[in-house]
Structure 1
Amino acid sequence: MRLTGERLRLSRNGKRSNPWRILIYIILIAGGVLLLQLEKAGQVQPLFLPAPGPTRSAQSYAGEGEVHFSAGDLEKAIGAYKLAASIEPDNVDLWYKLARIQTYSSDLLTTPEARRTRLSEARESIERAIEVDPENTTAYAIRALVYDWSATAELKDSIWVGDVVRIQAVIDEGGGLTARIIELADSAELGESITEEETMYIFSGVVEDIGQDAWRVNGRTVIRNSQTLIRDPNRREEFLTEAEASATQAQRLDPNNNLALAFYAEVLVDMQKFAQALDLSQRAAEVVDQAGDQYEFSMDIYRVYGTVLENHGFYLRAIEEYQKAERLSPNLTFLSLSIGANYRRLRDVGRALEYFDKAAQINHQLGIMDPTPYLAIGKTYQQQGEFFIAAINIERALAIDPGNPDIYGRLGIAYFQARNWESAMAILKCAVRGCTVEESRESLCRFVYRSDDLECEEGQKFNQGVRGLELGSNSLEYYYTYGSVLAAYNGHEDYPNVCSEAEDVFDELMAQYGDDPIVSSIVIEGRAICASPGSTPDLLSTPTPFPDESS
């Protein structure tokens, strides 16, 4: 560049800028900034957006839910009805239909905890229905169903770690909490409050630890003393009272409500009022017979009549009513399972297996991973003494639900009955004490996938441990069988500490079931084996299980 010393000219002709043009530029810039701000705030839509597509209505989702329910896919039916209710939250029909399906779906869940959780969701749905329309007779009828099944699922005799509880606690001067009342609560009730005097703290949370003098709930330590009342660990009576009140209210609102009549009969069965239950359920079924199958809840009424007859021991007549219900809803596997269970009680093993297999085939066609039919098939073969075939079917159930400790327990019993002691010990350990991720993978590879490689590819897909079952009525057989098989290996060089673990199990059994003659005799025998210099598993007698005819 050559410098000349001349002044730099920024305009060719030296004219001044037009002020009106500058003003127009400023207005355009300001307008653009304003449009951008309005677009960000959502008050202005950008240009050239595609035309909005049609949004689905609540009735569209409800229709989808009914299709899934008829097809037997209750989980998808629940999902569709939840979407419908979210669009029309003031539609009472959507809420009570959702609660009904949630209740029936609980019958296909394989652990007590899962069933109670699902029924808690059903109670939330039906309470929403009543809140929307307090005078709806159908909502009250289905509320009777929900609370009756909730009562049936209440098999607890204590509060456990993982339960949701409500606590009323006194706040001391140092801010510590001393519990006055501890009681079970629903998951929907999580929250906290302080009384007006600010001396009583009321909150709900998950139990994280239970000690002799203190509990830990939602990260808070709560002192428990002799004045603490632990109330209603089992809410069966409370739920039955609600169920009966709901059925009565439904009939008060509509004396001709046939669904309420049927569900009241089911409540009466659980209240041990069998004669009245039989009368009401028969009357409800006769009305449906006369009216034809067009009544929306015909399946429910035939199912209830079958349930009442089954509880009277009229198994063949119960099958007939269940089959009427199944003809209306042929893909509901809980109906097939009920028919199969009644054929099994009649010792018609072939027909029982036919209906259990039908349930399995329905699930397979729908892509539903449900272990229940295989557990029913396994139990049927166990009762026939075919323990090897029983174990194969229970292994298949475990492959579907590998984190379920109850299935480990059932498989362990089948191995024990087949005199496969070592396998029984390994599997029952997972049911009673739980298993780490590595132990669970090894068990799946060894027993389910029959692989010599204990790190097999199928087992590596499982990424969680198994939580052992608390000792209770549902797990009692697993506990005393586990203790017995541990004792049987006393003196075995590969299992040097089995009697120490067996004694821990026996202590728990005697503390809770010491008055039971079967349990005490098993414990006495096991302790005698451990007291001997050494034993062999072949000397071990098979514990006598408590009778159980459930699927």
Structure 2
Amino acid sequence: MNVMPRRPLFHQRQRTSLYRVFLLVVLILAAAWFASQVDKGAIKRPFLPTPTPTRTVRSFALEGEASFAAGKLEEAIAAYQEAARVEPSNAEVWAKLARIQTYSSNLLTTDAQRKARLKEALDSINEAVVLAPDDSTVHAMRAFVLDWNSNPILSGDQAQALLLEAEREALKALQLDNQNVLALAFYAEILVDEQKWSQAEQVILQAVQRDSSLMDVHRVYAYVLESTMRYREAKEEYQRAIEITPNLTFLYISVGHNYRRLAFDSDITSQRKELYNLALEYYTKAARMNEQLQINDPIPYSAIAKTYDQQGEFFIAALNAQKAIKIEPTNPDLYGRLGVIYQRARNYEGAILVLKCTVRGCTPAESCEALGGCAEGEEGATVASLPLTASSVDYYNVYGSLLAALSRPQQNYCPEALDVLAEVRAAFGSDPTIAGIVDAGEQICYSLAQSLVQTPTPYFTPTPLPTPRP
């Protein structure tokens, strides 16, 4: 019996479509091609973050130049360091970095800070010389950096060797390019430090005649004039440098210093007062400029304090010295300056407290006490001692002398005084002025010690009282 196949009333039999197979093959091949292109990097993966464009060395260098012109030296240094990182073989970048690092040492207050910054500048310019050994400007910059490193207070026994090397670098720069104005200017600065004043003036005048548009030229010319005590002409050259770069605070400080020196030398009361006011005006400009640039720099306030101190206005001098300390509360040099003001104001006990922070260092509680107490919620600062150098010897002398002078049998500071004065004698005993101060302090303590030995301790016999009658 023939049975008819069942008709598909409710379902369709699956049939393979040739077009569907072809489409699937095409999709598989396209997916494989896409994956290979992604792996090769020809096609970027979707949903990746938008890439940030890489900055060029020129971009960082322009930022550095703009920051320097604006007076933001630390930001300028950071920008040039980034430029050197991006292109470490660029000698010009290293040379410009070294120049700014050297100038920025002018804004530091302690010898240790200045020495470290100048060492960084020397490392930068040495890198530039390796990269461009025949570049006149690079050698001129190295002469400049070496000269500032040759400061005897900072370099000690190496000062003369560094100065001679600076002179050789300047002469090499001029040999490579005898029209290099910066090389002439820096050579003149070196000649001043070698005490060759007439030759220095001849060289700097050549630089001024060739190009008077450079700040460095007028700064060095002012330095040459200062070295020959022509302070009025010197401040005018600094003012010309300010016209070229109006945001460098150390130039305003230099103008103020020259006005202050003119005031100190003047015998006319009204003129002296006017000159001191002009000095204060330039220091105040520097302080306000720092505030606008959000730069924490205690130097203008220290300069203001010293100016008032020279005029005998110790109260306002101390206020400005304290303001400088608030900016850098761990700086021992600033405590020393305040201590000298207190000593001149005859606040001897206050001077001892502050100078201890400079000479021996102090704890937060001691620094608070030295500054007359801290506000509620304000902590004092830990202050490290300032090493004994030619810059700090006055602080040690004043501290030791005050300890000796205020010593009494009931409160004897002489052991500490003699320790401090012995350190001064060991380091600077060959200086007759310093030796005389040390002798005077030691003599006070020796006299006190002798009096304690010779004077017997009094024995008090009780006075008999009459027996009361009944």
Same fold (TM over 0.5): yes
Gaps of 5+ in 1: 1-27, 158-233, 535-551
- The residue that corresponds to 1:312 in the other structure is 228
After superposition, the Cα gap between the structure-2 partners of 1:153 and 1:51, relative to the gap in structure 1 and judged at 3 Å, is farther
After superposition, the Cα gap between the structure-2 partners of 1:397 and 1:52, relative to the gap in structure 1 and judged at 3 Å, is same
After superposition, the Cα gap between the structure-2 partners of 1:438 and 1:45, relative to the gap in structure 1 and judged at 3 Å, is farther
Matching of residue 427 in structure 1 with residue 343 in structure 2 = no
- How far the C-alpha of 1:377 sits from its partner, in A, is 1.0
Q: Distance in 2 between matches of 1:457 and 1:526?
A: 40
After superposition, the Cα gap between the structure-2 partners of 1:472 and 1:43, relative to the gap in structure 1 and judged at 3 Å, is farther
Q: Distance in 2 between matches of 1:45 and 1:236?
A: 60
Letter in 2 for 1:254: D
Q: Distance in 2 between matches of 1:152 and 1:514?
A: 21
Structure 2-normalised TM-score?
A: 0.81
Q: In structure 2, the residue corresponding to 1:457 is in which secondary structure?
A: coil
Matches within 5 A, 1:419-498: 419-444=346-371, 446=372, 451=374, 456-460=376-380, 462=381, 465-491=382-408, 493=410, 496-498=411-413
Contact 2:204–2:221 (Cα < 8 Å) also in 1: yes
Q: Distance in 1 between matches of 2:184 and 2:170?
A: 7
Q: Among the aligned pairs, what percent are the same residue?
A: 50
- The residue that corresponds to 2:256 in the other structure is 340
Matches within 5 A, 1:6-45: none
Matching of residue 510 in structure 1 with residue 422 in structure 2 = no
Q: Report which stretch shifted further, 336-345 or 518-527.
A: 518-527
After superposition, the Cα gap between the structure-2 partners of 1:248 and 1:377, relative to the gap in structure 1 and judged at 3 Å, is same
Q: Distance in 2 between matches of 1:150 and 1:458?
A: 39
Q: Distance in 1 between matches of 2:316 and 2:258?
A: 21
Matching of residue 501 in structure 1 with residue 412 in structure 2 = no
Structure of greater Rg:
2
- How far the C-alpha of 1:532 sits from its partner, in A, is 5.2
Structure 1-normalised TM-score?
A: 0.69
Gaps of 5+ in 2: 1-27, 264-274, 450-470
Residues 463-514 of structure 1 show CA distances to partners (whole Å, capped at 9, x for unaligned) of xx22212222111111111112112332275xx3411111212222333333
Q: Distance in 1 between matches of 2:430 and 2:91?
A: 50
After superposition, the Cα gap between the structure-2 partners of 1:244 and 1:517, relative to the gap in structure 1 and judged at 3 Å, is closer
Contact 1:442–1:459 (Cα < 8 Å) also in 2: no
Q: Distance in 2 between matches of 1:364 and 1:516?
A: 41
- The residue that corresponds to 1:223 in the other structure is none
Q: Report which stretch shifted further, 300-309 or 512-521.
A: 512-521
Matches within 5 A, 1:102-181: 102-152=101-151, 154-155=153-154, 157=156
Letter in 1 for 2:242: E
Matches within 5 A, 1:248-259: 248-259=171-182
Letter in 2 for 1:476: V
Contact 1:378–1:389 (Cα < 8 Å) also in 2: yes
- How far the C-alpha of 1:299 sits from its partner, in A, is 0.7
Q: In structure 2, the residue corresponding to 1:459 is in which secondary structure?
A: coil
After superposition, the Cα gap between the structure-2 partners of 1:354 and 1:44, relative to the gap in structure 1 and judged at 3 Å, is same
Q: In structure 2, the residue corresponding to 1:235 is in which secondary structure?
A: helix
Q: Distance in 2 between matches of 1:523 and 1:238?
A: 32
- The residue that corresponds to 1:265 in the other structure is 188
RMSD: 2.6
Matching of residue 239 in structure 1 with residue 162 in structure 2 = yes
Q: In structure 1, the residue corresponding to 2:211 is in which secondary structure?
A: helix
The one of 338, 341, 350 aligned to 1:411: 338
- The residue that corresponds to 2:19 in the other structure is none
- How far the C-alpha of 1:318 sits from its partner, in A, is 1.1
Residues 82-134 of structure 1 show CA distances to partners (whole Å, capped at 9, x for unaligned) of 11111111222211111110110001100111111111111111111111111
Please state which structure has a larger fraction of its residues in strand: 1
Paired residues in the alignment total 406
Q: Distance in 2 between matches of 1:154 and 1:502?
A: 25
